[in-house]
Structure 1
């Protein structure tokens, strides 16, 4: 594919009506396609992926020129929620929010290489500081800068969804369901906290230990169907007792650094813990949020250079981006 058809452009923009500016930005997307194809980042991708990349970069360009649309909305909401315009990148002194910036382009490229999954589908991770990603962002920035003065202002705002693929700005940050002295506790939470002497997190090595707790402490009926049989072959459980009740997670206990957790393992936390932030359904979000708020997930990191720094500083955005409807979900 050496050209990009108007139908491809319109589909990406989620409309059928052709605007007067479409031809210019479609031609620009086609003009940067050779740079995308030549980059080690995309040279082995299929033609459709390469074209989608060029289109996404051109959509960023048209949004930056028009100062509206999906890119404008994304950066405004990110600044409101997190205090800066972008995840990952600390803007340089010459960063101008209402103009084109290499950091912006790098983030767009990151979204194209970092794909969320689902409970039954794997996700993909990519470093926002990958050298080829940063190199391509500089190349594309120079191509945009050379055409900046002639780029037309689009009359209709682009879709608010194109940047991250879902309506992330509508996902609110809610308070932790923490127990306070004034909280009226349910039966399960009360029994958990009495057993743990007030500690919200309880740890169980295997299903047998968990069942003993269910029967002896919670008073559940001692028969298989009453003891969460789906967990029979799981291990390393964490229970989070909170105002909503009792959350149970499995295979994550090694990540939580607490004195009363016998399964804590810093090496495993570093090697495996990022799944909690990236794999939908892997860990209840309230438990993840509690762990980060209390500083008891200090070892989790992403599996590339600067992975700990990136995750620890951007964990909420990363969880929001990857977990989608599981972010702040029940």
Structure 2
């Protein structure tokens, strides 16, 4: 890995707790690997520095969500499928699409979404969802997720926070 661009304190910005643990360190490392992939494909040049860090962390957060069974992403694809008959916008899913696993189509859509959010909106443009660089970057990120699938740790802190029997007064 090149020099670290994303630190645990950055990663914790996406979480409702303040103390990082080994699981957070793992996903911080994944976010840095995603950032390196974006550097390799030059997609990082589409973003301002801080935005590229945010995109890398949010892609890692998707992976954390799927691994931990938090079902944040699953809620989106379930509702979208009920409304449209498809799991994600723009892309036809393969026969190997599983709603409780990381999927290439999910990664591709989310990467496009963040590209649109952090680049397109700021520049006042619509980003083509079929951009070859975005597709290649998504493929490499998906390959990373596949390599890490069996060893990625579940985030038990987040599981407790999202457990059906957990209630909050505020």
> TM-score by structure 1 length?
0.43
Q: Is residue 36 of structure 2 the alignment partner of residue 34 of structure 1?
A: yes
**1:131-210 to 2 correspondence within 5 Å?**
131-155=132-156, 156-157=158-159
Considering fraction of residues, name the structure with more strand. 1
Q: Is the 8 A contact 1:2 1:33 kept in 2?
A: no
Q: How many residue pairs end up in the alignment?
A: 156
4+ residue segments displaced more than 4 Å:
none
Structure with the larger RCO, 1 or 2 (CA within 8 Å, 6+ apart): 2
Q: CA offset at residue 48 of structure 1?
A: 1.4
Say which SS state the counterpart of residue 45 (structure 2) adopts. Answer: coil
Q: In structure 1, what is the equivalent of residue 67 of structure 2? A: 65
Does structure 1 residue 105 correspond to structure 2 residue 117?
no
**Contact conserved, 1:113 with 1:125, CA < 8 A, in 2?**
no
Describe how 1:43-62 pairs up with structure 2 within 5 A: 43-62=45-64
* Deviation (angstroms), 1:60: 1.0
Q: Distance in 1 between matches of 2:45 and 2:123?
A: 23
- In structure 2, what is the Cα distance between the partners aligned to 1:82 and 1:138? 25
Give per-residue Cα distances to partners, 1:150-202, cap 9 Å, x unaligned. 00111215x99xxxxxxxxxxxxxxxxxxxxxxxxxxxxxxxxxxxxxxxxxx
Change (3 A) 1:42 1:3: closer
Unaligned runs of 5+ in 1: 161-330
Structure 2: how far apart are the matches of 1:87 and 1:53?
Answer: 19
8 Å Cα contact 1:65-1:152 kept in structure 2:
yes
Q: Counterpart of 2:130?
A: 129
Tell me, in whole angstroms, the C-alpha distance in 1 between the residues paired with 2:117 and 2:124: 6
| 1:37–1:50 Cα contact (<8 Å) kept | no
Task: Name which one, 1 or 2, has greater alpha-carbon Rg.
Answer: 1
Q: Distance in 2 between matches of 1:15 and 1:111?
A: 26
- Alignment partners' CA distance in 2, 1:72 and 1:17: 27
CA contact (8 A) 1:110 1:126 kept: yes
Measured after TM superposition, the shift of residue 30 of structure 1 is 1.4
Distance 2:112 2:16 in 1: 21
Confirm or deny that 1:93 pairs with 2:86. Answer: no
5+ residue gaps, structure 2, are 163-170
Give the structure with the larger helix fraction.
Answer: 2
State how far apart, in whole Å, the 1-side matches of 2:141 and 2:9 are: 23
Alignment correspondent of 2:165:
none
Q: How far apart, CA to CA, are the structure 1 residues paired with 2:64 and 2:56?
A: 12
Deviation for aligned residue 1:41: 2.3
**CA drift at 1:110:** 1.0
How far did residue 49 of structure 1 move?
1.9
TM-score under structure 2 length normalisation = 0.79
- Is contact 1:115–1:123 with CA below 8 Å preserved after alignment? no
